[in-house]
Amino acid sequence: MVVFPVNGSFPLRPKEEQDSLIRTFQAKSKAAGFKGNVVVVWDAPDGKLNFRAPANQHEFFRNIGQDFINAKLNKTISW
Protein backbone atom coordinates (compact mmCIF):
# COMPACT_ATOMS: atom_id res chain seq x y z
CA MET A 1 0.00 0.00 0.00
CA VAL A 2 1.04 3.60 -0.53
CA VAL A 3 0.02 5.92 2.31
CA PHE A 4 -0.58 9.61 1.66
CA PRO A 5 -0.97 11.80 4.74
CA VAL A 6 -3.40 14.63 3.98
CA ASN A 7 -4.58 17.53 6.10
CA GLY A 8 -7.79 17.68 8.09
CA SER A 9 -9.66 19.49 5.33
CA PHE A 10 -9.72 16.30 3.22
CA PRO A 11 -12.94 14.87 4.71
CA LEU A 12 -14.65 18.26 4.26
CA ARG A 13 -14.20 18.14 0.50
CA PRO A 14 -16.97 16.68 -1.67
CA LYS A 15 -16.65 12.92 -2.20
CA GLU A 16 -16.07 13.46 -5.93
CA GLU A 17 -13.09 15.69 -5.14
CA GLN A 18 -11.74 13.18 -2.62
CA ASP A 19 -12.05 10.42 -5.21
CA SER A 20 -10.30 12.56 -7.81
CA LEU A 21 -7.41 13.26 -5.44
CA ILE A 22 -7.07 9.57 -4.63
CA ARG A 23 -6.99 8.74 -8.35
CA THR A 24 -4.28 11.38 -8.82
CA PHE A 25 -2.29 9.97 -5.91
CA GLN A 26 -2.68 6.47 -7.38
CA ALA A 27 -1.45 7.60 -10.81
CA LYS A 28 1.50 9.53 -9.34
CA SER A 29 2.52 6.65 -7.10
CA LYS A 30 2.37 4.21 -10.01
CA ALA A 31 4.41 6.60 -12.19
CA ALA A 32 7.00 6.77 -9.39
CA GLY A 33 7.28 2.97 -9.41
CA PHE A 34 5.29 2.23 -6.27
CA LYS A 35 2.95 -0.74 -6.23
CA GLY A 36 -0.19 -1.18 -4.20
CA ASN A 37 -3.33 0.73 -3.51
CA VAL A 38 -3.35 4.30 -2.21
CA VAL A 39 -4.61 5.01 1.29
CA VAL A 40 -5.10 8.56 2.53
CA VAL A 41 -4.80 9.25 6.25
CA TRP A 42 -5.39 12.34 8.37
CA ASP A 43 -5.56 13.30 12.02
CA ALA A 44 -9.04 13.25 13.49
CA PRO A 45 -10.12 15.93 15.97
CA ASP A 46 -10.24 13.29 18.72
CA GLY A 47 -6.56 12.44 18.20
CA LYS A 48 -7.25 9.23 16.30
CA LEU A 49 -6.33 8.44 12.73
CA ASN A 50 -8.94 8.74 9.99
CA PHE A 51 -8.46 7.12 6.61
CA ARG A 52 -9.87 6.13 3.24
CA ALA A 53 -8.75 2.59 2.50
CA PRO A 54 -10.14 -0.60 0.96
CA ALA A 55 -12.46 -2.44 3.34
CA ASN A 56 -10.00 -5.28 3.86
CA GLN A 57 -7.50 -2.79 5.35
CA HIS A 58 -9.87 -1.03 7.76
CA GLU A 59 -8.98 -3.19 10.77
CA PHE A 60 -5.29 -2.41 10.34
CA PHE A 61 -5.85 1.35 10.12
CA ARG A 62 -8.26 1.36 13.07
CA ASN A 63 -5.46 0.01 15.25
CA ILE A 64 -2.64 2.40 14.41
CA GLY A 65 -2.03 6.09 14.97
CA GLN A 66 -0.31 8.99 13.27
CA ASP A 67 2.93 8.25 15.15
CA PHE A 68 3.05 4.80 13.55
CA ILE A 69 2.45 6.30 10.10
CA ASN A 70 5.15 8.92 10.62
CA ALA A 71 7.63 6.27 11.73
CA LYS A 72 6.96 4.11 8.66
CA LEU A 73 6.98 6.79 5.95
CA ASN A 74 10.12 6.15 3.94
CA LYS A 75 9.65 7.75 0.52
CA THR A 76 8.39 11.02 -0.90
CA ILE A 77 6.49 11.67 -4.11
CA SER A 78 6.55 15.20 -5.52
CA TRP A 79 4.97 16.68 -8.61
Q: Where are the domains of the chain?
A: 2-72
Tell me if the pTM is above 0.95.
no
Q: CA separation (Å) from 22 to 14, 67, 75?
A: 13, 22, 18
Confidence at residue 47, expressed as pLDDT on a 0 to 100 scale: 73
Burial class (CB in 10 A: 0-12, 13-18, 19+), 34: middle
Structure confidence by residue, pLDDT tens digits, 9-26: 999 999 999 999 999 999
Question: Which residue type occupies 43?
Answer: D
